[in-house]
Structure 1
Amino acid sequence: MTTQLRQNTPSWTFFNARPTPPASGNRIPHAVEGDQVAELRFYGTSIPASIQQEDLARLEPKQWLSDNLCTFYCYEAGNAYLKGAPGRAKDLVVLHARTWHLANWTHGFPKNVRVKGAIPTLEHKYVAFPGNDSETHFFLCIIIFPRDLLLEFNPSGPVRTTALILNSLQQLPPSNPKEKVRSILFRLSEGRPLRDKELARVKVLHPLMPQQPNGYDCGLYPGHFLSVFLGAPEAFTAHILGEKTIEGAVDEIWNHSRIRYARQNLKDLVLASSEIQQAAFDFNTDVPLPVS
């Protein structure tokens, strides 16, 4: 069985949702809270992607992105998906790049990755986040069907929970991904009972993905991969699991040619966000002027 995406599904969530550049002509953001110039959250998450003044230089060509810039891209792709797919808020959670090192979070970081009142993480169909295992290379992790592991929802049925590692440099895979994913799932359960035996057997798949032609664009690929995946998540899930193949070469399936626009698109989004934040700051007349 094969699937043809181009005729029946939306294309590239992030690309379709990208706003026009700021109209004011102010292309140099001013710091509005210390060195912070922009901030973005995925709906219901507790940890923002906070862009600092020093991060802006990383948006220039041939620069390696920070974890916040990489997360900003993924958050925007996820938010664009929710805006374009009404009624599917229960499908998706996008988390910060720090999630890959969730076991190392101590004081200074919230224990819960979702805000009070939001649907708990593992009750969603897809949990996605960029990861950086060695502080040298970003990849995207998507955990599909995590709800199957929750004992209260699935006490005895089949468990389909699988982690997908979408990696633009196959020669730099994360180390011990199965152990890492099991630890992340356990912590994201927030103490709720899991199917322990099935948790120990959760699969981690490394599908064939487009490969970056350089050593500095890896931070752009998690957001790009997530955006393409969210264009037709069920079809891509079936494709990666080998249940129903999508026709075409790997680069064509994952719209690799559009990665050339990703850096400028991300830069436009950060600058637009910075202007919104600056306008909100200026509107608050109770904020005292800086002391000279």
Structure 2
Amino acid sequence: MYWTFTQSRLTPPLSGNRIRDAVTGDLVAELRFYGTTMPADIAQEQLRTLEPGQWLTADLCSFYCNEVGNTYLEGAPGRWKDLAVLHSRTWDLAGWTAGAPQRVRVPGALQVLEHHDLLYDLNPNGPVRTIALILNSLHHMQPRDPQSKIKNIVRRLADGRQLREQELQDINVYLPMMPQQPNTYDCGLYPGHFLSVFLGAPEIYTTHCTGKALMDGPLDVVWKHERIKAARDRLKSLVLASAEIRQAALDFNTDIPSPCTM
């Protein structure tokens, strides 16, 4: 998390006015995936949703995914082109207005569509071998027309780059069978959990999800479903540790008023 906090230090308003809420507000933790413009911001009021029996916010879900993705890149030298994790609000970028980032990646960062696990032409002059995996733990709530949705997502992420429309039609969308869960309070934990399991062996899980080489065992074993029971506690620990680091930074910087007590 060191990179996140050194790149996201709080600064006073440009006007120079020491407006308490403008400097600190109720933000207690923040985490972004490497090179992305949209962080997962955790406000004070969101901490209560980390307790059992509470719905997680979109930022908490993205916080979990960002941490999983960052940990993977930090432990896999030479695989920085493998993965780009985007905030769940990214899919609303067509409606972004003033004050919101116009791009999902910071200047100088690798463009989203160059990452293997988003879109990557293995043979630009030959057939497109790009696939999209939809890991859905609520099979009774399937996405409508996933092929079109995936193509729209790719167009949005192109940042104005011209795409080969014919090849967009050739993107293979897979909806593999996944462990199922009731549509209750823990649904927001599944994206981060599935990502962490998938990144344990990306090539093996890709061939499994596409049906080319199925892994042995029941779905719950293949996807380590039992671990979901501890996922909320892991996320809570991550957020609180992040909040402590941010609090320490604010306490050290005496030019910034102390935030609200947690």
- Work out whether the TM-score is over 0.5: yes
CA distance in 1, matches of 2:258, 2:237: 29
Q: Greater share of strand residues, 1 or 2?
A: 1
**Could you list the per-position Cα deviations for residues 201-238 of structure 1 after superposition, in whole angstroms to 9, with x for gaps in the alignment?**
32322110001145221100000000000000011011
Q: Following the alignment from structure 1 to structure 2, what is the Cα–Cα distance between the partners of residues 288 and 269?
A: 25
User: Alignment partner for residue 185 of structure 1, among 151, 154, 157?
Assistant: 154
State the 1:288 CA deviation. Answer: 4.6
Determine the C-alpha separation between the residues in 1 that align with 2:50 and 2:147.
32
Question: For the residues of structure 1 that align with 2:188 and 2:114, how far apart are their CA atoms?
Answer: 28
Question: Among residues 79, 82, 85, which one is paired with 2:76 in the alignment?
Answer: 85
C-alpha distance in structure 2 between counterparts of 1:273 and 1:202, whole Å = 38
Q: Distance in 2 between matches of 1:69 and 1:289?
A: 24
2:65 maps to which residue? 74
| Letter aligned with residue 172 of structure 1 | M
1:224 corresponds in structure 2 to: 193
Which of 120, 134, 149 is equivalent to 1:147?
A: 120
Q: How far off its partner does 1:180 sit?
A: 2.0
Letter in 2 for 1:264: D
Question: C-alpha offsets along residues 69-97 of structure 1, whole Å, 9 cap, x if unaligned?
Answer: 00000001101101111111111100000
Query: What stretches of structure 1 move > 4 A for 4+ residues in a row?
Result: none
Structure 2 regions of 5+ residues with no counterpart? Answer: 1-20
Contact 1:47 1:113 in 2 (8 A): yes
Which of 172, 175, 198 is matched with 1:203 structurally?
172
| Deviation per residue, 1:116-168 (Å, 9 max, x gap) | 111111111113xxxxxxxxxxxxxxxxxx121xxxx8542121222211111
Amino acid at match of 2:41: S
1:51 aligns with one of 33, 39, 42: 42
CA positional deviation for 1:104: 2.6
Deviating more after overlay: 177-186 vs 62-71: 177-186
Structure 1 residue runs without a partner (length 5+): 1-30, 128-145
Report whether the alignment pairs 1:240 with 2:231: no
| SS, match of residue 24 in structure 2 | coil
SS in 2 for 1:56: helix
1:114 Cα deviation after fit: 0.6
d(CA) in 1 for partners of 2:81, 2:209:
22
Query: Larger RCO: Structure 1 or Structure 2 (Cα < 8 Å, ≥ 6 residues apart)?
Result: 1
Is structure 2 residue 21 aligned with structure 1 residue 37?
A: no
Question: Given the alignment of the two structures, is residue 100 of structure 1 paired with residue 80 of structure 2, yes or no?
Answer: no
